[in-house]
Amino acid sequence: MNGQEFQIDKEILKKIHMKYLLYLPLSYNENDTKKLPLIVYLHGAGGSGADLDSIRKEGLPAYIEQQHDFPFIVVAPQCPLGSFWNTREDEVVTILDELEQQFRIDTDRVYVTGFSMGAYGVWHLALHHPHRFAAIAPVSGGGDPRHAQELKHIPAWIFHGTDDQVIRSSESEKIAEALREEGAEVELTLHPGVGHDCWKHVYANQGLYRWFLEHRSTFRPSIDKIEPKGEGSLVNSQPSNLNTEHQTSALGLYHDGTERLQIQLVTEQDLEDLLALEVKNKELFRQFAATREETFYTKKEQQARIQRAVEAANADTFYMFMIRERESGILIGNVALMDILRSNLQSAIIGYAMDQDFNGKGYMTEAVRFIVRYAFEVLAFHRIEAGVMPHNQASLRVLEKAGFEREGICRSQVHINGRWQDHVRLAIINPKDLLEEQ
């Protein structure tokens, strides 16, 4: 007996019910015409149920509840007990539709983030409604790498704690790697020593919200490829020595750098390349570095500079790292840990410089992330500081993507390019120390 083929085409109505929290900025005025950005937040399993107070205890709502004001409209829907976000897609999208009709929302600046179960929901929403979101930020969850091709058009900043015992960080690493292979704009920030409650670090970082606002919805289904802007990732296992043979981690990153970069302490073999780097970028570097005499650009001075750096590293007072493209071997920049203080401070200041021909590729973000991890896990620093002139937005973004947070302005701090310059002070604390305090 042969089976006959049929198809049904019929429109049905579906009744939905879902509670949600809504946060409006204090500046929101119904008579105003200015449109505001919106963040959709999807909670973890602990927020499920019928009591909206349970949503307030975690993630973005927990952070907002402690703030006087927040510059986004934020909606946090509540998933019923026994359900998962992939089965409540219609409800979330309908809430979004309703809010866009009732409130002044900039539909080109709608973002979605979520924690744990909510992070899986973020990937699900982005997969089925890519035109609705300008950027996504899943926290402590994972996505299916098989869908990377469909997801590659949406900028993503992924967060996970390396000591997460609930959902392994490898779940985030797998989707990040798959997206990079598709040429997507993807960031992966792994918080060393942090468990499943990674959200406490993520939502308190103002860099995330600045990153959101850098993106507007530009989804075009016909686009075949987006040029890669990936910034790389932290190494997943603790590096033991920057000068050892490279060993790959889950993402193909190495103990002596990243997938794209080799990062090692300076040696005498770097002399010619270091001198060439300084001479080539003389005019660029002088805009951001302390005043240098002309003798600085000689082989003799660079040789002495390297010797001082080697001796200082042995004495644990200064570390200078060379950054090379792994594939070509070209020296493209350097990173330094300076002004090191031990005893009850355990701190250092980070500084860096990149060849002008290699800016804009995400190399420095990769390098800074690697050095920060090395500084915390190998050199056992508690705190790393940085100073950036306020107009140097590119450098501020590098540090914030690496986890640094702004602490204030240091007035007239450093004499650069003929004048005393203000600097934005940023810092990052060793996550393991923060965890111990908590």
**Ramachandran sector of residue 134 (left: φ over 0; alpha: ψ -120 to 50; beta: rest):** alpha
DSSP secondary structure letters along 95-143? HHHHHHHHS-EEEEEEEEEEETHHHHHHHHHHHH-GGG-SEEEEES---
Q: Is the pTM of this model over 0.75?
A: no
DSSP single-letter state for residue 213 = H
Q: Is residue 390 scored above 60 in pLDDT?
A: yes
Q: Is residue 301 scored above 60 in pLDDT?
A: yes
Among 69-73, 91-95, 163-167, 299-303, the range scoring the smallest mean pLDDT is 163-167
**CB–CB of 173/251 below 8 Å?**
yes
Q: Is residue 277 scored above 80 in pLDDT?
A: yes
How many beta carbons lie within 10 A of that of residue 144, not counting itself?
15
- Hey, what domains does the chain have and what are their CATH numbers? 20-213 (3.40.50.1820), 261-437 (3.40.630.30)
Tokens matching residue 244: 């050892």
Question: What are the pLDDT digits (tens) for 193-233?
Answer: 899 999 999 999 888 999 999 899 865 443 333 233 333 33
- Confidence band (pLDDT; 50, 70, 90) for 295? confident
Q: What is the pLDDT of residue 80?
A: 86
Exposure class string for 300-316: b at 16+ Cβ within 10 A, else e:
ebbeebbeebbebbeee
- Confidence band (pLDDT; 50, 70, 90) for 61? very high
Averaged pLDDT of the chain:
83
Sign of CA pseudo-dihedral 153, 361, 256, 193? negative
DSSP single-letter state for residue 252 = S
**Block residue for tokens 């990936």:** 230
Q: What is the pLDDT of residue 228?
A: 33
Helices 271-280 and 299-314 cross at an angle (nearest 10°) of 120
